[in-house]
Chains A and B, each alone.
Chain A
Amino acid sequence: MIRFEGVYKAFGSKVVLDGLTLDVPEGGTTVLIGFSGSGKSVLIKHVVGLLAPDAGRVSVDGQVVHELDWDGLTELRSRIGYVFQFSALFDSMTIGDNLRLGLARRGLDESEMQERVAQSLRLVGLAGTEDRFPAELSGGMRKRVGVARAIALRPRYILYDEPTTGLDPVTSAVIDQLMVRVREELGTTAIVVTHDMRSAYTVGDRIAMLYEGRIRQVGTVREIQETEDPVVRQFIEGRPDLEGARDRVALSGGAL
């Protein structure tokens, strides 16, 4: 289980997380939704120790992440796969080497690595691309390689940071299917950060909305779809803030 307890994080005077509390249970996929810049990516970076909270704690399987020493953190990271928003593939390496890098760290021998790389690329529908470089692939293919790099490690948890952002609807749907397939075939627990509600409904078992540094609501897909909370409703229906828009138009001399 991944547990966030009273997590507070600020960058300078900007408070991003303001005492956030959330439990991510074992199994299934928890989708984290929220407005752009609300701190969703910041939150999941705490899980792998890329950021440390200013107050509160983040724990994975009972281990408090920011209290771990280097060896403990390395061991923790070996249980977690991370899919970055812009893939973050190593552009000087081939796709095969991108996948092998993490496997080499875990001490797999060459034949095991070869098999795992081929298997992972097959799972994301990119078999035979081992010798190509990231620059030769489309954005959607790079995202899938990012997923392949994460699942090659057979992690217990996978964190997806905006996996469908910037992709066309068809490619987004392919990535959604891929996340579902990864969960079904590998049984991983996932956190998906997104503001794409179609994706959230497709891949999520639970949805949590982050708003003003805290969890505004958490529930099943159905509970979120039927929520009465005006902020959550506004977000999932993609409605602009009419009051705010009216004020801005009035300020510029117009009317709405």
Chain B
Amino acid sequence: MTLPASLRESTPGRQVARVGSFVLDAGRALRDRRTWAPLLLEQMRRLGVESVPIALFIALFTGIVLALLSKYIFTGAVPIYFVGTLVGKAIMLELGPVLTGMALAGRVGANIAAELGTMRVTEQVDALETLAYDKYAYLVVPRVLAGTLMFPIVTALAVALGVSAGYITSLYLLDLSSAEFVKGLQIFYKFKDIWYGLVKAASFGAAVTLLGCLQGLATSGGAAGVGRRTTLAVVYGCEAILVLDAFWAVVLL
């Protein structure tokens, strides 16, 4: 599937056309459920479940630092229970999804680009096609769907741990009572705080996995090519997260 020639003339145009064609081909491959469905669970485990430890590690320390920072900022100016507000809002709306997304852009994006890149330069992708498989249905769709489904789940766990870490830090290091922290947490709470972060996380998952697949399948030039494409997958994945973060802030807030 190709886009109009005018879009492919300039370098940025060519890039957009390449991404556009790739997305269209991946979308077309969604129909080939017989190929991608049996592979989905395995990808959810590899890309999602195996990413939980790194996401929780980041969330734990983010929660602790955020509580300490809040106390430092609010002391003498704002009621101390706003520590709960800041920890909750910052982690649910921004830091949970974005930091988890960044960590997974490194782990998942690099993993996908390196794996598919190696398959590409060793002709395994060509071999797959000669066996009458659609490379998009076999390699791309299960990874992108797994990323889209699992990033919100990993993010939800990270948010829960981050807020809990902030709560425990407030109790034991900041002399806040449990009631004060919970009051702060509840005072401006909206259900949107939860779903906004999860929608963002799903879009980050789709972008990171899609870019990882795109870079992996575009690999050429042996080991050096795999290294170059892996780096690009991580860099573009992180950039995509920041752009999408701004996009959702404009559209949904």
Please give the residue numbers on chain A whose beta carbons come within 8 Å of chain B beta carbons, in ascending order: 45, 48-50, 70, 74, 77-78, 80-82, 84-86, 88-91, 101-102, 105-106, 149, 153
B132 A88 Cβ-Cβ under 8 A: no
How long is the Cα–Cα vector from A105 to B133 in the complex, in angstroms? 7
A82 B134 Cβ-Cβ under 8 A: no
A residues in contact with B28, CB < 8 Å: 70
B123 A77 Cβ-Cβ under 8 A: no
How long is the Cα–Cα vector from A105 to B124 in the complex, in angstroms? 16
Give the A-B contact count at a CB cut-off of 8 A: 50
B residues in contact with A77, CB < 8 Å: 129-132
A82 B127 Cβ-Cβ under 8 A: yes
A90 B124 Cβ-Cβ under 8 A: yes
B122 in the interface (beta carbon within 8 A): yes
B126 in the interface (beta carbon within 8 A): yes
B132 A102 Cβ-Cβ under 8 A: yes
Q: Which 10 A-B pairs have the closest CB atoms?
A: A88-B123, A88-B127, A102-B131, A82-B130, A77-B132, A74-B132, A84-B123, A78-B132, A48-B130, A105-B132
Residue of B130, B133, B134 with most partner-chain A CB within 10 A: B130
A16 to chain B, nearest CB (A): 15
Closest-by-CB residue of B relative to A98 is B127
A84 B126 Cβ-Cβ under 8 A: yes
A84 B132 Cβ-Cβ under 8 A: no
Contact with A along B34-53 (1 / 0, CB 8 A): 00000000000000000000
In the complex, given contacts A77-B129, A105-B133, what are 4 additional A-B residue pairs having Cβ atoms less than 8 angstroms apart? A48-B129, A70-B134, A91-B124, A105-B132
B residues in contact with A91, CB < 8 Å: 122, 124
B112 to chain A, nearest CB (A): 14
B residues in contact with A78, CB < 8 Å: 132
Kindly identify which residue among B123, B128, B133 contacts A86, using a CB–CB cutoff of 8 Å: B123
Can you list 28 A-B pairs with a CB-CB distance of less than 8 A?
A50-B129, A50-B130, A70-B28, A70-B134, A74-B132, A74-B134, A77-B129, A77-B132, A80-B130, A82-B126, A82-B130, A84-B123, A84-B126, A85-B123, A88-B124, A88-B126, A89-B127, A90-B124, A90-B127, A90-B128, A91-B122, A91-B124, A101-B131, A101-B133, A102-B131, A105-B131, A106-B132, A153-B131
A10 to chain B, nearest CB (A): 16
A2 to chain B, nearest CB (A): 15
